[in-house]
Structure 1
């Protein structure tokens, strides 16, 4: 309970600060005694600082007002997004402001997991140096990638861009860098990015659907991630859409980027564009000029995505569903089909429950910044002078890298 209260106090200051203690009480519904004890400890630890508003002479009535705000220099963290054709790093301060960024072009799906861990290590070290820091200045690291991740152990059970399964990535990076390391699904990373910095700053309950090389799902409930057993994240592309005998059709089979691009995968231009991670902009340009095959493929993807989102709304009834990812650049054929399928399949009594928001502006830095925010979120709730962020478990059964 102490950690939960501490997090809520720091999150209130982050989201709405600078704040007076009485305002923190109002926003967190904690007692003045609890808020005073928590803020005193945060001040002692240097995690928040005071800002004096006015002077006694200016105020004309007692002492000047004292507000609390986060100390941006209290800690630095690193966020990493692993994508099929690149690894993106950012270093942020305690408020989540980006201090430095780095993108490494690499064919991730062609590399063994141990090479990916080496590349992440190299990128972290370089990005930290570019920020004018050393690893001693960094408190923790969060790495996000598509697939199914066990948050509790830092094991990647499955990722469409890794050649191996059950990869103990947290352990591998901790051994290389000596930093407390979290592993998240990229959908969870952008979900917290939407909550802290983008379209859901006003909500603590919402759903994020990511549409890129793979299809992901992030569910925020009460300001916390909704996770499965062992902290497992969700891979929306695994959702079964139909089953016929021994064959199971999954959402990814029709709606991820490889499925959408299948009609043109043999085209020499697209082979090179896919290699460089530029296939979706090229496909969008061809759709705009009337390419029938790609238009039909985008529409099919939109239809099944609309059906999947209708099922999510039926299950969770969130006030907002955010769509984010590079696939959205395909534009009108995809989105019109998605909204039509959603309207057709959603139960009428849920038609006015969920707003659909599309974040077409989120870029690679936003995904990596979301990963950094996940690391900060854990720091905000940790007793700073004792346990700090969770260390990875080193007694895992999965084979070492």
Structure 2
């Protein structure tokens, strides 16, 4: 499997980047529709697309466009008639995405459209930065091996993405502070790139998930949205005014650290009263164990107990729902997204707090902010790793570090 981290995209202008981004996130799409959405001339679109087709990144092979897409204005020639929409050649490149947790490493390979091809999970016992980076290098090497399958050929690998919780300086690839991992000022990108001799992009895990939703998920057609993740922590990614928000200092959307919980509760970040002290899955489980006097319970046992009607277990979930709903209302009142996706590894099982969460949101959302849609959706750790891969794809297309053009 040839590794070609320096395989350049033939994009000479910002217009070319915009055209490829439209094809990648909204394709198959006709040239005329790209021109309409970008306000470029059709000649400019054709000029931008020609080198991409020649290099094998984009194709315009004729396909039949379904009637429903034609009705939405995606067809160039009419309902059911043959057209030549532009679409990205998925296997023109490959990407690796890695997600780091205190207990596991999750890795995926994806194509250019962030479609998952292979998945690997490895348990983690040593969370020191040195040990984790060595394990990440091994996992990436194993995933690279999966790309060399002659029965399922993949495109050349162009980069590796790493998603970590906490305060991450994505531009320089440094994890400034990750309370869950116990890391401070770890230059993950440079250290891992040196081990693997590949471009490495490091991102906050929730922001990476938001990038994936922006380019390849619910955010493709949304003007604004937020992704709120609930698990061992509570995170939030924001897509506002055409961009995933990073914040002036690389920190934004820290919903889990709004001070909306009782002040006597100490968070993993060292501060008091954070949303996570009540609303994270770890906090819910700790509360159920404390109030029921059953320290042997795991989270599934706590959920089962609450479903059976145990008042102590129900109280823990109600309390979590109250705080999450209030935090969501505060966020929506401030930035006004049209949609909030509430996601997590087991969030679909948390119907126990859904009603109380929506009630608290309705009580605190101001005016029309209450019209924001709340969508509850479960996802897996593979999705987190896919988000890391999506950040590589975005940086590659835009020519952002470490992909310079």
> Taking structure 2 as the reference length, what is the TM-score of the superposition?
0.82
Matched, 1:207 2:226: yes
Counterpart-to-counterpart distance in 2, 1:357 and 1:37 = 40
In the superposition, relative to structure 1, how do residues 50 and 234 fare at CA in structure 2: closer, same or farther (>3 Å)? same
2:96 aligns with 78
* Number of positions where the alignment pairs a residue of Structure 1 with one of Structure 2: 368
2:315 aligns with 296
Structure 2 residue corresponding to 1:370, chosen from 387, 390, 394: 387
Shift of 1:39: 0.8
Shift of 1:390: 5.3
Structure 1 residue corresponding to 2:339, chosen from 309, 317, 320: 320
C-alpha RMSD of matched pairs (Å): 2.9
Counterpart-to-counterpart distance in 2, 1:3 and 1:258 = 48
Counterpart-to-counterpart distance in 2, 1:17 and 1:332 = 35
Shift of 1:191: 1.4
1:356 aligns with 374
1:48 aligns with 58
CA deviation string 1:174-217 (max 9, x = no partner)? 11111111111111122123234443332141111111111111
Counterpart-to-counterpart distance in 2, 1:327 and 1:160 = 22
Counterpart-to-counterpart distance in 2, 1:390 and 1:204 = 29
1:274 aligns with none
In the superposition, relative to structure 1, how do residues 27 and 280 fare at CA in structure 2: closer, same or farther (>3 Å)? farther
1:172 aligns with 191
Listed as ranges, the matches of 1:369-388 within 5 Å are 369-382=386-399
Q: Give SS of 1:194's match.
A: helix
Matched, 1:119 2:119: no
1:252 aligns with 276
Counterpart-to-counterpart distance in 1, 2:368 and 2:106 = 42
2:28 aligns with 18
Q: Give SS of 2:184's match.
A: coil
Shift of 1:380: 1.8
Listed as ranges, the matches of 1:187-198 within 5 Å are 187-198=206-217
8 Å CA contact retained: 2:226, 2:340: yes
8 Å CA contact retained: 1:151, 1:182: yes
Structure 2 residue corresponding to 1:34, chosen from 44, 48, 51: 44
CA deviation string 1:128-185 (max 9, x = no partner)? 2123269993101111121111111111122232122121111121111111111111
Counterpart-to-counterpart distance in 1, 2:148 and 2:299 = 35
2:178 aligns with 159
CA deviation string 1:216-248 (max 9, x = no partner)? 110112442111124335432222227979984
8 Å CA contact retained: 1:143, 1:183: yes
Counterpart-to-counterpart distance in 1, 2:263 and 2:384 = 37
Counterpart-to-counterpart distance in 2, 1:34 and 1:314 = 40
Unaligned runs of 5+ in 2: 1-10, 65-76
Q: Give SS of 1:200's match.
A: helix
Matched, 1:128 2:138: no
8 Å CA contact retained: 1:128, 1:135: no
In the superposition, relative to structure 1, how do residues 371 and 300 fare at CA in structure 2: closer, same or farther (>3 Å)? same
Larger mean CA deviation between 128-137 and 186-195 belongs to 128-137
8 Å CA contact retained: 1:151, 1:232: no
Shift of 1:351: 2.2
Matched, 1:67 2:85: yes
Counterpart-to-counterpart distance in 2, 1:181 and 1:46 = 24
Matched, 1:332 2:346: no
In the superposition, relative to structure 1, how do residues 195 and 136 fare at CA in structure 2: closer, same or farther (>3 Å)? closer
Structure 1 residue corresponding to 2:403, chosen from 389, 393, 398: 389
